[in-house]
Each structure stands twice: as C-alpha cells, then as structure tokens.
Amino acid sequence: MKSIEKTQVAARIEQAAATVAARGNDREGLLACWRCTDYTTLRETDSPQRVAAFTQRAVEWVERGLPPMASICVYPSLVDAVGVALAEAPEGSPAEEIGITAVCGAFPSGQTYLEVKMLECAMAIENGADEIDTVMNAGAVLAGDYDLAKSELAMIREEIDGEAILKVILETGSLADPELIYRAAMLAMEAGADFIKTSTGKTQVSATPEAVVVMCQAIRDFDRLHSRRVGIKVAGGIRTPQEALLYRTIVAQELGEEWLTPERFRIGASGLLDGLAAMLTE
C-alpha cells in the first residue's frame, strides 16, 4: 500500500488555501464551480412534485443568464421527474445541456445484493439517467477484501456498458486512513470508474481537503500507469463558495488546469448554488 506523508498533504492544502485567499472574489472560478456542480436533492421527503420544483429552479437560474450546471442529482425513482421538468424548458434553452444523475447501488450504504445494485443502475439509465453515482463496498475495503470491492464495481461497470458515466463513491470519511483512501481510489479506477467521488453526504465525516489531495494523487498515479484520465467529484458538506473554490484549487494544483471542466471535475451540493447565485448575480 502506498505510503502517504500527512505533513506533505497538509502543506498542499495550505498552499491551495493561500491561492484562494490571494485571488479574493474570483468570479471566473465561481462560474467554473457552478458549471461543474451536480445540483443535488437526496432527502427522505423527496417526491416527484418536489423534485420537479427543484429542477425548475435550476432552469430558472439558467433562464436568468447563469450557465447550466452539470447535472441534477436525485434518487433513481425520481429520474423521470427531472426529465419531465427539464423537457419543459424553452426550446433551445441552455438548460437542455443539464444532465441527470441518479444515486444507485443501495445508496447510501451499498448494503444489498449485487444483482439489486446492477438492476437499479439499469433501471435508472432506462428512465433517463445520464450518470450513475454508486457506492463502493466500504465494508469490504475496511475488512481487507479488496477483490470483492473491485469485482462488484466491475460488474456494475459491465451492466452500464458505456450507457452512462460511472462515478464511484469511496465514502472517504468512513475509510479515514489516507493509505486506505488511496487504495480504494485505485481499486475503483481499475474497476472502470469514470470519476471517483468522496462521499454520500450521509456520514458524520464527508468530504475533506485531505481526502481530496490523496484522491488526486491516486488519479495522477493511475494516469501514469494506464494512460487514462479519471475525474474527481467532491461531495458532502460543501455549502459555501469559498469551500468550492478551495476544492477546485486543490484539483488544479494536484492534477492541472485540464481537470477543471465538467468532464473531469464535479461538486455535489444542494445549498451551494444559492450562495453562488447570490454572488454571481449581484
């Protein structure tokens, strides 16, 4: 297992924070964060009506001149509601570019039969999902059963069969140890992940700058070994524009500016866009 020097990780975070502070109110950076956001609602009280209104809000922001966000992220049974609401956007609207992400695979725990996980992914895609966020078997990783964790993801990748982008949630707050986060990231990418993602947002510890630095190291090493560039999604507890800018700066610092597009960088958030909209429209 790769050795991660924690003092070096801390130094990289300090460097990124200093860069954010020096840039101040970075409008271009804020716009880029907006474009890379998966606008997310994952409440137990979600309903087709509530999700339709949530999606309509996203469309209204675009109609007021803000760029389209990367996607709307919902539970798989609510993919239809997002699709219907997006279809009501005016013809030719940039809102047509907004994708649909479904959290699948027994989100957030991932604790069910593999066949159920695969079926849920397939049904979400059939109903209109462009992207699948699925949960890695963190229990298997913590138990050292790396083959099981990797094989489950490989089967889900095969089920998706190129019909959707696959983002794999590592649940870094539960893994905690930097070396284990690095190992899980490598396993997910070896299994075919298009993105690796920090968290479900349903655990006590979600995204942290430390975890994101380690994940970026894994992505960089994987690219060197396999010549395949994997994206990164930061999710869980990101509420302020400054937090979003910090994570974007870490990714730029560790992986390069070429990662700062929706094709390789995402932020999963709900309340974040309220703050971003206020700053971008003032």
d(CA 154, CA 159): 9
Question: Would you call 233 a catalytic residue per the annotation?
Answer: yes
The pairing of beta strand 99-104 with beta strand 131-135: parallel
Encoding tokens for residue 119? Answer: 């079926």
99 contacts 58 by C-beta, under 8 angstroms: no
Give dist(CA 89, CA 15) in Å, integer.
42
Calpha distance 225→6 (Å, rounded): 23
In the residue annotation, 26 being an active-site residue is answered as: no
Name the active-site residue from 117, 133, 150, 194: 133
Q: Can you tell me which residue has the tokens 């994987």?
A: 222
Q: What DSSP element (H or E) covers 71? A: strand 71-74
Return d(Cα 81, Cα 50) in angstroms, integer: 9
61 C-beta neighbours (distance < 10 Å), count: 22
Contacts of 233 (CB under 8 A, 6+ apart): 38, 133, 167, 195, 196, 197, 198, 265, 266, 267, 268
Is 133 a residue of the active site? Answer: yes
* Long-range CB contact pairs, 63-66, < 8 A, 24+: 63/89, 63/90, 63/93, 63/95, 64/281, 65/281, 66/34, 66/277, 66/280, 66/281
Three-state secondary-structure class, residue 101: strand
Catalytic positions, written as ranges: 133, 197, 233
